[in-house]
Amino acid sequence: MAKNDKLLFIIPAYNEEENILKVVNTINNYKKKSQQKYDLIVINDGSSDNTERILTENRIPHIRLIHNLGIGGAVQTGYRYALENDYDIAIQYDGDGQHDIQYAEKIIAPILNGEADMVIGSRFIDKNSNSFKSSFVRRIGIKLISFVIKFKTNKMIYDTTSGFRAINKKVMETFVDDYPIEYPEPISTVHALQKNYKVKEVPVEMHERKGGKSSITSWKSIYYMINVILSILIVERKCNK
């Protein structure tokens, strides 16, 4: 069955005029070499720069959100699109060039062979790799969220904020129904765990951002931590599929 599975890259992009074309090109080059067939869709989250023009001029398949929704709302749009067009696996791949396409196959493998429903590309599993692992403060934040997730679900997730991830159809259905709008990565992971989906982490390497700005800036990080921890501890609750 594996070869016939339909795969979709979902690329959320907000004001990524500097990166988006490069990102799409690396995926397209990768597609040519790979045996698996991939499609991609860019979700332009109401960008105010030239992102839309670049997407249209280069005939890149994309959806332009008529209003900015935030990363969660953009990715959820991708899942909606994936379900409507009958994709089996959706891979979230950030539009800022942080992710390394070489790991795409590793990320979908556990889903293809039924080992997992959701796979997270993790920077922290392989301790020996010396690639980009985010700043010190951010790593502490990620560890803290890790601890909270372990406390809540009894499952250790190392790279809680990684946006390089793949999910199967069942999880897509869950996420279309309910997906965190603001800081989706850690919260949606807990959401999947609470629904008894199998979540697996595989080691990946990431690059530093090539341009543009990260969505998480300094003073917002305190709000981010409070928001995420409250969501995990109070909002998410155990339920069956």
Partner 1 sequence: MTLNLRIDLLIFSILLLLLIFKFMKDKKIPVKYALVWIFASAILLFVSLFPKFLGHIASLIGFEVLVNLVIAILLVLLLYITLVLTIIVSKQQKKITILIQEVSLLKGEQNNDKKS
| Chain contacts with partner 1 (rule: CB under 8 A) | 59, 61-67, 69, 73, 76-77, 80-81, 84, 181
Closer Cβ to partner 1, 3 or 59, answer by number = 59
The torsion angles phi and psi of 89, rounded to 5 degrees, stand at: -135, 135
Beta carbons of 107 and 202 less than 8 angstroms apart: yes
Closer Cβ to partner 1, 73 or 203, answer by number = 73
Coil, strand or helix at 79: helix
Q: To the nearest whole angstrom, how small is the minimum distance from the Cβ of residue 131 to partner 1?
A: 34
- Burial bucket for residue 16 (CB in 10 Å: 0-12, 13-18, 19+): buried
Q: To the nearest whole angstrom, how small is the minimum distance from the Cβ of residue 171 to partner 1?
A: 18
What gap in Å lies between CA 206 and CA 121, rounded to an integer? Answer: 9
Closer Cβ to partner 1, 77 or 160, answer by number = 77
What gap in Å lies between CA 206 and CA 217, rounded to an integer? Answer: 19
Dihedral sign for Cα atoms in the order 5, 206, 72, 67? negative
Closer Cβ to partner 1, 84 or 86, answer by number = 84
Closer Cβ to partner 1, 16 or 159, answer by number = 16
Helices 169-177 & 71-84 angle (0-180, nearest 10)? 130
Q: To the nearest whole angstrom, how small is the minimum distance from the Cβ of residue 59 to partner 1?
A: 8
Beta carbons of 90 and 164 less than 8 angstroms apart: no
Beta carbons of 117 and 169 less than 8 angstroms apart: no
Q: To the nearest whole angstrom, how small is the minimum distance from the Cβ of residue 106 to partner 1?
A: 30
Chain centroid, CA 215 distance in Å: 13
Q: To the nearest whole angstrom, how small is the minimum distance from the Cβ of residue 64 to partner 1?
A: 6
Q: To the nearest whole angstrom, how small is the minimum distance from the Cβ of residue 56 to partner 1?
A: 9
Closer Cβ to partner 1, 81 or 93, answer by number = 81
